[in-house]
Amino acid sequence: QTRRITAPEIRARKGGEPIVCLTAYDAPMARLLDPHCDLLLVGDSVGMVVHGLDSTIGVTLDMMILHGQAVMRGAKRALVTVDMPFGSYEKSPQQAFENAARILSETGCQAIKIESGTYAAETIDFMAQRSIPVMGHIGLRPQAALADGGFKAKGRTRAERQKVIDEAMATADAGAFAIVVEGVAEDLALEITQRVPVPTIGIGASAACDGQVLVTQDMLGVFEWTPKFVKRYDNQAERTTAAVQRYAEEVRDRSFPATAQVYTMTRQDG
Ligand code: KIV
Ligand code: NA
């Protein structure tokens, strides 16, 4: 059995070869991604990407644990980090620790991630002191969409820029081993990456970061939507539509199943 990449190993990659990260929500996809990725993130984006929710607000701890278990069955080598969903960690460091411990023990994953406004520093410190590897997530924080009025890039005003830098410093000082930086301009991503001692993993945050993450279904083109920061490496929506159209036609004209897909008679009666 191959050894899994550890949180300290990811931490030690600061300033080195870029860290390759994608989201995963199920076992077969995790198996395909694992050989190419350093880190697989069981993101709460699963609520939108797989369950059809409009935001990540409705994602539950049980959903995250179920998807975390599936990803752990498929991934052999990458570090698996599971997102803590909205409502499972904000109330107190104790609440966060209890729910993080459930995620770690019930999935076998090696780390958790929380969206880390500056208020979260106490929580990150509490968990890190108690041996839970924590990833932070700053800048555009999808779980803050209600208060922010939607998904909006961050750091466009001087005050907002300082706020994102404060989030980064607080998250790193509190003991996070890596930080997702989402939806910020290149100069801000560069400043944060230069100032924090842990790797920054960017999404919509330029190549200045120490690594990159994308939602796998976005980069595979499963959806028609393409925010600016997504590069489509495939067009699975079109290819799936074409395949299903062909299948439907062949069922209707009875060319599927053909002899190649039909069992031959193995037994004569009488
Ligand atoms: O939920 C998610 O997929 C994420 C990443 C995109 C960073 O948090
Ligand atoms: Na997330």
Q: What is the pLDDT of residue 227?
A: 85
Residues 22 and 11 in one domain: yes
Pocket of ligand 1 contains residue 110 by CB under 6 Å:
no
Pocket of ligand 1 contains residue 81 by CB under 6 Å:
no
CA of 42 to the centre of ligand 2 (A): 8
Residue 116 labeled ligand binder: no
> In 3-state terms, what secondary structure has residue 255?
coil
Residue 83 labeled ligand binder: yes
Pocket of ligand 1 contains residue 180 by CB under 6 Å:
yes
In angstroms, the CA 188 to CA 199 distance is 15
Residues 12 and 106 in one domain: yes
Going residue by residue through the chain (270 aa), what tens digit of pLDDT does each one get?
Answer: 579 999 999 999 999 999 999 999 999 999 999 999 999 999 999 999 999 999 999 999 999 999 999 999 999 999 999 999 999 999 999 999 999 999 999 999 999 999 999 999 999 999 999 999 999 999 999 999 999 988 889 999 999 999 999 999 999 999 999 999 999 999 999 999 999 999 999 999 999 999 999 999 999 999 887 788 999 999 999 999 999 999 999 999 999 999 999 998 777 665
Residues 49 and 151 in one domain: yes
Residues 139 and 232 in one domain: no
Residue 234 labeled ligand binder: no
CA of 147 to the centre of ligand 2 (A): 16
In angstroms, the CA 146 to CA 57 distance is 9
Residue 270 placed within a domain: no
Q: What is the ipTM of this complex?
A: 0.99
Residue 260 placed within a domain: no
| Atom 8, ligand 1: residue with shortest CA distance | 43
Q: What is the pLDDT of residue 2?
A: 75
* Structural domain range at position 200: 7-219
Task: List residues bridging with 83 in a β-sheet.
Answer: 113
Domain count of the fold of the chain: 2
